[in-house]
Chains A and B, each alone.
Chain A
């Protein structure tokens, strides 16, 4: 990987971002748009600084839900995948329900979950987990099944036990798929957390970023609304980068996706 490639990788999107912000600032100033409709980037930055304690606390609340849901989704999703590859019968019997979980809009079932689960924090985590779990299940299952038939024959020839085949062949072979699932799931966990917070409405024990957006909307405090939105986006990008880094660490040197560039 050469240095020049890395610089342009960062410089190009940065240049686009700066240009858009400049254009935005200029348009707001020239057209004299009122701040309660669209705030200028500088006003959003100002809100970020002025409300930093409130927003940081909310960010932490949302991140806690997101990370707990993500961890739960990875744990349960991987467990489900291991169960599915034990037999086609199990997969056929259970997979439709995983799909059902995936296609049901979380907005529609979140109110039920919030009624049923007393602890609000747990209810939010549960909602976000439901949103995030499917890519982990489907990708890991696919990965565990995608064994090179030649290598499978080789393991059979040497009388490998089920355990040896799992640890030495199936799991390493599934890693690229697994990490692909993690990237999608990390973003979905954040989306799930935000959506669940919206449905929950009032933040009872600590208000997350979604709650701040709701309240800021009611109060026409649009700069703060934008600031909260900005933080959600940054959190999403950060999660994605962490997942990409983990994937690179694990697949470096052998998988096509992490070579060259």
Chain B
């Protein structure tokens, strides 16, 4: 598939929502945006641009200090910067947590855990503790936990930022496959231009002090994107564009 039609149903509506803290820090100037079904929207920007703040407002973890955020998704999954697994629990218990908290029956829940672990490429690890896994595997377990209640919307906060580039590329490729197979809508936060260009259908370029959305770039490339896309001139072209938009945003902020 290519670009999402403009009349696809909105999943998230952000209306002039901003965040300021009582101590006077403006984390995010009011922004307005709509995320539509089946979109892969990336918030790209330097640290301090409010991209994580915006994502947390979308998740309902943070209340906007002005404006409103409406989410139409019935089920959503959140993936954190770190794997954020419970060290005392097995991989199975960690992935099952959303189902346990919702009061699902154990046996059916365990089947869904196995399916989720298979989907993220972690079969046979259910009985292990998080510390027995590598960083990349822990992140996969975290991904499985977010997928286990079959969400329509995935909110991801720099999920692969702590991984080495080789592992990150592999996880990015798996993520795009899951997005395709499971008809997900994804909002993804990153400070990597390459990651944004590889994954997104649309990139919102953000800038810091004050945090705001500076510009937008639609990446209209066929899906599913494979490793060969990384080597293509089209990919290089999008990266260059994003790079220029980031530089513009910074220059505008400094002025």
The CA of A159 and the CA of B102, in the complex, are separated in Å by 8
A164 within 8 A of B: yes
Binds B, one of A57-65, A145-153, A188-196: A145-153
B78 CB to nearest A CB, Å: 5
Interface size on B, residues (CB 8 A): 21
* Contact, CB under 8 Å: B82 / A169: no
Q: Assess A156 versus B61: contact at CB under 8 Å? Given A150-B82, A164-B101, A254-B87.
A: yes
Interface majority SS (helix, strand, loop, mixed), chain B = loop
The CA of A68 and the CA of B59, in the complex, are separated in Å by 50
Set of chain A residues within 8 Å of B100, measured between Cβ atoms: 168
Set of chain A residues within 8 Å of B131, measured between Cβ atoms: 254, 259
A133-157 interface (Cβ within 8 A of B): 148, 150-151, 153-157
A52 within 8 A of B: no
A120 within 8 A of B: no
* Contact, CB under 8 Å: B61 / A153: yes
* Contact, CB under 8 Å: A157 / B86: no
Set of chain B residues within 8 Å of A76, measured between Cβ atoms: none
* Contact, CB under 8 Å: B101 / A254: no
Q: Assess A151 versus B86: contact at CB under 8 Å? Given A157-B61, A253-B129.
A: yes
B88 within 8 A of A: yes
Set of chain B residues within 8 Å of A38, measured between Cβ atoms: none
* Contact, CB under 8 Å: B87 / A255: yes
B82-117 interface (Cβ within 8 A of A): 82, 84, 86-89, 97-98, 100-102
Interface majority SS (helix, strand, loop, mixed), chain A = helix
Set of chain B residues within 8 Å of A154, measured between Cβ atoms: 78, 80, 84, 97
The CA of A155 and the CA of B101, in the complex, are separated in Å by 8
The CA of A151 and the CA of B129, in the complex, are separated in Å by 16
Interface size on A, residues (CB 8 A): 21
CB closest residue in chain B, given A169: B86
The CA of A154 and the CA of B88, in the complex, are separated in Å by 16
The CA of A154 and the CA of B59, in the complex, are separated in Å by 10
Q: How many A-B residue pairs have CB under 8 A?
A: 47
B208 CB to nearest A CB, Å: 23
Q: Assess A175 versus B80: contact at CB under 8 Å? Given A158-B97, A164-B101.
A: no
Q: Assess A175 versus B88: contact at CB under 8 Å? Given A158-B98, A254-B129.
A: yes
A160 within 8 A of B: yes
Flag A167-205 by CB within 8 Å of B: 1 or 0 each: 011001101000000000000000000000000000000
Set of chain A residues within 8 Å of B97, measured between Cβ atoms: 154, 158, 168
The CA of A253 and the CA of B76, in the complex, are separated in Å by 32
Set of chain A residues within 8 Å of B130, measured between Cβ atoms: 254
Set of chain A residues within 8 Å of B253, measured between Cβ atoms: none
Indicate which residue in A157, A160, A173 contacts B59 across the interface (CB closer than 8 Å): A157
Flag A53-83 by CB within 8 Å of B: 1 or 0 each: 0000000000000000000000000000000
Q: Assess A172 versus B59: contact at CB under 8 Å? Given A155-B101, A158-B102.
A: no
- Beyond the given pairs A151-B84, A153-B78, A172-B89, 7 more chain A to chain B contacts, judged by CB atoms under 8 angstroms and listed by A's residue number, are A148-B84, A154-B84, A157-B76, A158-B98, A168-B86, A172-B88, A175-B88
6 closest Cβ pairs, A-B complex: A150-B84, A158-B101, A254-B87, A254-B88, A172-B88, A150-B80
Binding site for A on B (CB under 8 A): 59-61, 76, 78, 80-82, 84, 86-89, 97-98, 100-102, 129-131
